[in-house]
Amino acid sequence: MSLITHPHARELTKSVRATVLVFKDPRSVELLNRIERLAPSEANTLIMGETGTGKELVARHIHGLSNRRNEPFVAVNCGAFAESLVESELFGHEKGAFTGATSSKAGWFEAARGGTLFLDEIGDLPLSMQVKMLRVLQEREVVRLGSRTPIPINVRLVAATNVNLADAVVAGNFRQDLFYRLHVATLRLPSLRERPGDILPLAEFFIEEHCQRLGYTRATLSPEAERKLLSHSWPGNIRELENSIHHALLVCRNQRVQPEDLHVVDMRSPVSQISAPPAYPALPDESSSNSLQDALNRLFEQNLPNLYDHIEETVFREAYRYCHGNQLQTGRVLGISRNIVRARLEKIGEIAQSPRSASHGTLKL
Ligand SMILES: Nc1ncnc2c1ncn2[C@@H]1O[C@H](COP(=O)(O)OP(=O)(O)OP(=O)(O)O)[C@@H](O)[C@H]1O
Ligand SMILES: [Mg+2]
């Protein structure tokens, strides 16, 4: 577990995790105003936004603008831990609480005492943990595993999600009571294509930061490169923009970024259609759902063993192939989080077991 405080964040990560925030487009300026109004309150806050829209950065900013700014900011990725470990990681444990608990350990709630606890990808929190989380929020105290003594906690909770939690409630994957607890204040981060006025200022910002870091003379964008940046749909949002600028700086000549230096994959495929609801209502057409039904009926008739596992495995394997091995995209196609995709792909042996899901989780910085 690490304690992360805002001013040192950049030292902890390769990306230029901004200590500067770029908010130029009118929609972003509006967002920033809202952040500034919400931050000093003690309200639990739910940040919603597509991947790479800056949820974690905004959470840090909220902390930095709050009265808790000199206290810890603890970031926790709820999807990064095996279900059996989540409880002890969140609430801590006493020595001997379970096999392998050789010493007692404080959980994240205790580590964040007085400060802010950032629960990233809250939608991935197992249902069993959601009940316990709710109790902690109501009682404002935690009990370590293997202990009976409640420890009072004083944390502000900021949670983030890139799945629609209201839908997850309807689908039975997220508890409604916890949803309302978290939903006190909400911030929806617009995707980059909804705030096009930020594209060039962000590109300039990343050029500046990366050139400095790489020890390069400051590069510039050609007008054609600017046009290419403006016309791309940025499904990976700000992170994708940062990566493509980083790559362009490594390959461009004479400190001038040309369109061919910018590696962007245009996803005007069914995948991006799903993530753009207003233009593309995502209703499956009748013929495709009928053929799916037919295929299922044929399978039912065959009386196969482990049919459910087989179907689930096929869905993940095929979606992963369809997305050319891109986990993020696979999650988007299936409408679930990248962490769930990764866990399932590991389970079916499509990808190697990552050390973090194999044993202890790592914090995402
Ligand atoms: N307003 C901004 N100004 C400058 N840089 C930004 C801004 N918003 C995000 N970034 C940068 O974009 C990258 C992605 O941000 P962040 O990790 O906060 O996104 P996220 O929404 O948490 O993504 P994910 O859902 O994939 O976890 C980071 O490198 C961050 O520093
Ligand atoms: Mg994040």
Q: What is the pLDDT of residues 24-44, one digit of tens each?
A: 999 999 999 999 999 999 899
Q: What six digits make up the tokens of 186?
A: 């909400």
How many Å apart are CA 53 and CA 162, to the nearest integer?
9
Q: What residues are paired with 48 via a beta bridge? A: 161, 188
Q: Is the CB of 158 inside a 6 Å radius of any atom of ligand 1?
A: no
CA of 363 to the centre of ligand 2 (A): 11
Query: pLDDT over 70 for what percent of the chain?
Result: 84
Confidence band for 100, pLDDT divided at 50, 70 and 90: confident
Q: Which run of H or E residues covers position 37?
A: helix 26-38
Domain limits, CATH 1.10.10.60, in the chain: 270-354
pLDDT at 355: 58
3-state helix, strand, coil in the chain (%, to 5): 50, 10, 40
For the domain made up of 195-261, the CATH class stated in words is mainly alpha
Confidence band for 359, pLDDT divided at 50, 70 and 90: very low
Average pLDDT on 223-241 reads 95
Among the ranges 11-20, 64-73, 124-133, which has the highest mean pLDDT value?
Answer: 64-73
Mutation test of ligand 1: which of 34, 57, 210, 327 has the most ligand atoms closer than 8 Å to its C-beta?
57
Mutation test of ligand 1: which of 56, 118, 338 has the most ligand atoms closer than 8 Å to its C-beta?
56
pLDDT at 269: 45
Domain limits, CATH 3.40.50.300, in the chain: 6-190
Q: Is the pLDDT of residue 153 over 60?
A: yes
Q: Is the CB of 21 inside a 6 Å radius of any atom of ligand 1?
A: yes
For 254, left (φ over 0), alpha (ψ -120 to 50), or beta?
left
Q: Is the pLDDT of residue 209 over 80?
A: yes
Average pLDDT, the chain: 83
Q: Is the pLDDT of residue 18 over 80?
A: no
Give 245-270 pLDDT, tens digit per residue.
999 999 999 999 999 999 887 655 44
Domain 6-190 is found in CATH 3.30.70.20: no
Average pLDDT on 295-310 reads 77
For the domain made up of 270-354, the CATH class stated in words is mainly alpha
